[in-house]
Structure 1
Amino acid sequence: MILASVFIGLILLLLTGIPIFAALGLTASSILLLIEGDIDGLGDAVYVHLNKPILATIPLFVFMAQVMIRARVIDDLYSFAHTVIGHVKGGLGVATVLACTIFAAISGSSVATALSIGSSAIPQMKRFGYAERDALGVVAAGGTLGILIPPSGPMILYAIVSEASIGALFLAGIVPGLLLALMFSAWCMIQARGRQGMDAPDWAGWQAATAALRRSVWAILAPPVVMGGIYFGIFTASEAAAAGSLYALLVAVLVYRNFGLRDLWDCAYATMRTSMMVFMIIAGAAMFAHAITLARLPVGVTEAVAALGLGQIGFILVVMALIFVLGMFLESIAIILITTPILLPTMISLGIDPIWYGVLLMINLELAMITPPVGMNLFVIKGITDAPLGTIVRGAAPFVLIMMAGLALLIAVPELATWLPTASGFGR
């Protein structure tokens, strides 16, 4: 009963539009006042959570993405994908998924991916006969890859709340992320074969493809610089973020030569605003976790699951269904911060790998980005195209089913997520 009251109360607060950190802080304060009569300990809980060097990854990865966008490195990325595969029937859809995949590995943001790639891709696809809903759907779905393919902002947040290894989570997201991208691409080609009047541009030739590759190589190299260093043990996740930021600056200043002091200031300012928002949310999450721990809510959940006799798979299926429903109404950050502190002790008692669960959670949060009524990517696409929301939802619907299939596959074969971290030494 207490758990339900806390859960419902927090969701109602969030639905009023109050900032996430404020809702978490108010809920935590209310719980402590009810069970202890004071809010002592909240300050210490916030300090412990914020006094972690790994938090430096947040502003560094945000800054890296800001610089790459500001220097217009991303424009060459879609041009390359379009030139190489756009001539195949359905190839423009595949090119869009490819561009989203690479950009997701640079920005770590689903919204930024959908916004940046959609601005270039949607007019091109419509020009060559793609139905409007198909063009809108592939960009909305491709943009969600920013949550799963590292470096991912929600993934970093989950790692901080669960105290899981960020490096292991980054590596765990690579294979499932590429698998989803492959499934999206396959659907684009299957869909194109069933559509009449869908044209494909002529093959531009090897010379044009080579020129496009040369222009985009700096964007393509960004993910290997970050993830390769982590995989081969050259640097930690924090050092990888610093290396990525330095790489982005060098490319913008020395290669593209369109990045001045004013751009540096704008990127730093945007980074500061985004990072402070995230840090305030982490502070709220720290208070919430402290309060529910004192109220013994996680213990109650563990005992309830034990009484039901749910095994690992049964628990995961119930939790995934719950998060899918929550995703229709709440932002991904709120879902991570509400559910993780409550569910983590139960997961540990059942022997569930937090890295595997983290990847499952990210895929489910991807679904939340394109499921109404609060799917953020749906509204981003509507904002840049002014298309009817119903058209966007219908275009994204097949990709919802594809992601559900990917989620089921990962539940059935956990090694798709755990193999790479284990092989690289993170799983030992």
Structure 2
Amino acid sequence: MDPITIGLLGFAGMLLLIAFHVPIGIAMALAGVVGFYVLTGNLFAAISMFGTETAGAIASPELIIIPMFLLMGSFAGASGLAGDLYRLANALIGHRKGGLAIATVAGCGGFGAACGSSIATTATMARIALPEMERRNYAQSLSAGSIAAGGTLGSLIPPSSIMLIYAFLTEQFVVELFIAGILPGLLTILIYALAIYLVVKRNPSLGPAGPRASWATAGRVALSTWGILIVIAIMTLGLYGGIFTVTEAAAAGVLVTFLFTWARGKLTFTDARRIVAETAHSVGLLYVILIGAHIFSNFVTLTHMPSELVDAVVALNLAPLGVIAILALMYIVLGAVFDSIAAMVITLPFVFPLVTEGLGYDPIWWGIVMIVVIEIGMITPPIGINVFVMHGVRRDIPLSTIFRGIVPFLCADFVRLALIILFPIITLWLPNTM
């Protein structure tokens, strides 16, 4: 049996294991080990990958950043820092039609900068923003839609866990990837705000205007946001100014958010134990996925499937943009079914060589494009993981209502994706200048 056939059977076996609800990381590891053994006949070398890849992941200085960012996000949520930026945006634009929904999107961006997770951003902002929008008689569709869509900013606004993992798996400089995500993130907030404006202009009852906050009130709210602004400023200026390494910036973020949580009296023993346990649980899941991805990647590399895929696509003489469009559609479907990290690590061994070596695209640009399309998948019917997270927080809101509220944001997402693909300068300008 030739290596390509073995590779295809290994990939099919991995998908079959996932279909039987075997955890994705374990399914990838099992398929990789079995495939490696079939190709080499060396059982010891195949099984030893469990040990070598696990030791490599645990000892990796790059991956230590992930638990730090997750811990920082948990402290930011527990301390109330997550809602400060949202309250400021509400005070400034909440009196306009749809203003509270726009403030919610901006708040998602702010919390995403401290959290790095789309699911965590959605769950947190659902608890903070939804009650306020309900008090202002916002339609549930617009309220829930703006939170579920805004939650996708958690993976795009740096620092981002999925960016860290992409950089680790593809051996890219993570700070360059963070910088590349800034303008696409701001573009997303702007396009979402425009979508909300057009929706409420057509039907003002969906997002009625609230009372205008006085300048004195807005000033008091602005002063109360100094905590989250300090966290963002320390990490951003320290990281991009060359004061901190990425690991040091993450450690500084954890320390500052911990101090705010303690100073605000939100760090009881029970809260501390819950935060540490939640972080350890998330880190364990991520490490299993990454270890499995590395084992499976070793097997895939041995089959020469990536190089064969590159040659096959090049031989079709398709326009590069046509290939990118096909890959984008594939990732939107995968993002609707899998967690964003799982969708990325399963496909990177095949897709990354195709895009960078076969088509000649910049790996940093492709990283941002891939994150964007996977996040679009997270709000795409019929699954859309962020929609189910939103529904999990508020069971009384029907899924059909949330999906109906998502439609304007999906339209905005496709406009944003087209701009990022057609104009790579949006992604690459900042990294090139810095």
TM over 0.5: yes
Specify the alignment match of 2:430 in structure 1: 420
Q: Following the alignment from structure 1 to structure 2, what is the Cα–Cα distance between the partners of residues 209 and 398?
A: 30
TM-aligned CA deviation for residue 99 of structure 1? 0.7
After superposition, where does 1:17-56 map in structure 2 within 5 Å? 17-39=21-43, 40-41=45-46, 42=49, 43-56=51-64
Q: Would the aligned equivalents of 2:57 and 2:287 in 1 still touch at CA under 8 Å?
A: no
Q: Distance in 1 between matches of 2:70 and 2:203?
A: 39
Q: 208-217 vs 121-130, which deviates more?
A: 121-130
How far apart are 1:422 and its partner, in Å?
A: 1.7
What is the rounded CA distance, in whole Å, between the counterparts of 1:322 and 1:8 in structure 2? 17
The 3 A distance-change label for structure 1 pair 310 and 230 is: farther
Residue 188 of structure 1 pairs with residue 188 of structure 2: no
**1:369 partnered with 2:378:** yes
Q: Percent identity?
A: 35
SS at match of 1:55: coil
Q: CA deviation at 1:20?
A: 1.2
The residue that corresponds to 1:398 in the other structure is 408
Mapped contact 1:96–1:142 kept (Cα < 8 A): yes
Where do 1:239-388 residues align within 5 Å? 239-254=248-263, 256-349=264-357, 350-386=359-395, 387-388=397-398
1:137 alignment partner in structure 2: 145
Structure 1 runs of 4+ aligned residues shifted over 6 Å read none
Distance 1:394 1:231, change over 3 A: same
Whether the 8 Å contact between 2:97 and 2:204 is mirrored in structure 1 is no
What is the CA–CA distance in structure 2 between the aligned matches of 1:344 and 1:222, rounded to whole Å? Answer: 34
Q: Tell me if the contact between 2:176 and 2:364 (Cα under 8 Å) persists in the aligned partners.
A: yes
How many residues get paired? Answer: 423
**Contact 1:148/1:177, CA 8 A, preserved across alignment:** yes
In structure 2, what is the equivalent of residue 88 of structure 1? 96
- Structure 2 unaligned regions, length at least 5: none
Q: 2:18 is matched with which residue: 14, 17, 28?
A: 14
1:5/1:172 Cα in 2 relative to 1: closer, same or farther (>3 Å)?
same
**Quick check: 1:78 aligned with 2:86?**
yes
Aligned partner letter, 1:411: I
**Which SS does the other structure have where 1:17 is aligned?**
coil
1:229-248 mapped onto 2 (5 Å cutoff): 229-248=238-257
Contact 1:46 1:287 (C-alpha < 8 Å) held by counterparts: no
- Matching residue's letter, 2:342: A
TM value normalised by structure 1: 0.94
Question: What are structure 1's unaligned runs of at least 5 residues?
Answer: none
RMSD: 1.8
Distance (whole Å) between structure 1 residues aligned to residue 128 and residue 78 of structure 2: 15
User: Displacement of 1:262 after TM fit?
Assistant: 4.2
Distance 1:253 1:45 in 2: 37
Q: Which amino acid aligns with 1:221?
A: I
Contact 1:50/1:283, CA 8 A, preserved across alignment:
no
Give distance in 1, aligned partners of 2:79 and 2:231. 14
List per-residue Cα deviations over 1:352-394 (Å, max 9, x = no partner). Answer: 1111000001111111211133311111111222211111111
Tell me by how many angstroms 1:116 deviates.
1.2
Q: 2:221 & 2:103 partners in 1: Cα distance?
A: 13
C-alpha contact (below 8 Å) 2:116/2:160 kept by paired residues: yes
